[in-house]
Amino acid sequence: MSKLFIEGCHRLNGAVAVHGAKNSALPILAAALMADGVSELQNCPGLSDVDASVAILRHLGCRVEREGHRILVDNTGLSGSDIPDDLMREMRSSIVFLGAIAAKTGAAVLSFPGGCELGPRPIDLHLAALRQLGMAIEEERGQLRCRVRGRLKGCKIPLSFPSVGATENILLAAATAEGTTTILNAAREPEIEDLAAFLNSSGARIRGAGEGTVVIEGVDRLSACCHRVIPDRIETATYMAAAAVTGGSLVIKDVEPAHVATVFPAFEEMGCQIDVWKNELLVSAPARLRRVRSVRTMPYPGFPTDCQALLMAMACVADGTSVFIENIFESRYKHAGELMRLGAKIKVEGRVAVVEGVPVLSGAPVECTDLRGGAALVLAGLAAEGETSVTALHHIDRGYEAFEEALAGAGAVIRREDGTV
């Protein structure tokens, strides 16, 4: 079992560079199976979730070549329409393949993605929308058996919640449907815009992506194209938090500032200075952070739920008491228990967590509970006296490429040991 060993209380200085967005690359890889020919995706991050998506594409008969952050997807050999249970379990967000596979092949069989560390993760909005488009979906024995007779038919789809995944599945299914589809209350995340940009480059006709109402005029077919994935805004916020929690000063390169500006107010309230120019940020932190009065997670452009754990790590060592309200996921405070092992003072009551900042944390062995919670534990380790060891690193490897190398390059004392047990 691999472990990270961190010796805390070293200020970060220098520079890091972010990679392409995981949550953009995943739906775009699904979209690539719909685009006839060889699509080229640039700036794809080297993550286990991307590996899982590539494995699904290959299982379906696509030829996939990877050269660093460049991925070529040739859908010519596409012949399958099922995602095996083991691949579904490896990455629950594989549900985004449903719309693409069914629209392209006329059928799809995959197992229910099930829950994860963040809670039950229902897909009712996905299934209701796809059924409105004319997809026949049978749910039996934990499997989804989907069929499209003829072509999907465009329609108006009001979403009761701006679900990112459901919006993506609708974009994929409606791109080649007959007629026009209008999504009301669509998710507005930058990753939605990026998926629409890929689809439009392959011949789709999508307007309004990134806004609450999106209009998709179905086309007959999609053709392969070349697309560069946008920078990862959550990885950007993670390195911002690393500078903040160590009282350091960090240049973060290859970012899209506009996509991460939603967290600037919280960082500034805690005493950080953020300078922006083109695709770089300079984050300068005070010797000790101030508390953040309250952080309410909301759909984009509100405060991102994926940054809640990162800000909590900062709040653990801030001066004063911070309040978090997690409005998106039912169970997204699992990292609080592990932070308390480092000496953090946190009280969780349902969707609310109250964090009373302490002057310094104390290093201890901790275990990642999920992707962003795991990143928060590393951040807390950077601010803790003594040694912190972090296990269950597969959570972190899902969403961060060369995480410890980047932190070490900016002055952190951190190393990974690939143990045998």
Residues of this chain that interact with ligand EPZ (CB under 6 A) are 22-23, 26, 93, 121-126, 161, 163-166, 187, 305-306, 328-329, 371-372, 399
Would you say 391 and 367 are in contact if contact means Cβ atoms under 8 Å apart? yes
Torsion from C-alpha of 297, 300, 302, 305, nearest 10 degrees: 20
Minimum distance, C-beta of residue 12 to ligand EPZ, in the bound complex (Å) = 22
- Token pair recorded at residue 388: 């912190």
Minimum distance, C-beta of residue 411 to ligand EPZ, in the bound complex (Å) = 26
Minimum distance, C-beta of residue 413 to ligand EPZ, in the bound complex (Å) = 26
Nearer to ligand EPZ, 24 or 181 (CB): 24
| CA 299 to each of CA 117, 187, 304, 327: distance values in angstroms, whole numbers, following the listed order | 19, 7, 7, 9
Nearer to ligand EPZ, 78 or 95 (CB): 95
β-strand pairing of 180-184 with 213-217: antiparallel
Residues 398, 369: Cα–Cα separation, whole Å: 12
Minimum distance, C-beta of residue 89 to ligand EPZ, in the bound complex (Å) = 15
Cα torsion angle, 309, 310, 316, 318, sign: negative
Concatenated DSSP letters of 92-137: GGGGGHHHHHHHHHSEEEEE----BTTB----HHHHHHHHHTT-EE
Element (H, E) at 235: helix 233-245
Nearer to ligand EPZ, 208 or 365 (CB): 208
Nearer to ligand EPZ, 8 or 399 (CB): 399
Minimum distance, C-beta of residue 50 to ligand EPZ, in the bound complex (Å) = 11
**DSSP collapsed to 3 states, 261-302:** HHHHHHHHHCCCEEEEECCEEEEECCCCCECCCEEEECCCCC
Nearer to ligand EPZ, 113 or 203 (CB): 113
Out of 116, 225, 272, 307, which one is annotated catalytic? 116
Nearest CA among 415, 328, 418 for reference residue 5: 415
Q: Mark whether 116 is an active-site residue.
A: yes
Element (H, E) at 239: helix 233-245
Would you say 222 and 199 are in contact if contact means Cβ atoms under 8 Å apart? yes
Nearer to ligand EPZ, 86 or 124 (CB): 124
Minimum distance, C-beta of residue 356 to ligand EPZ, in the bound complex (Å) = 26
Question: Active-site residue numbers?
Answer: 116
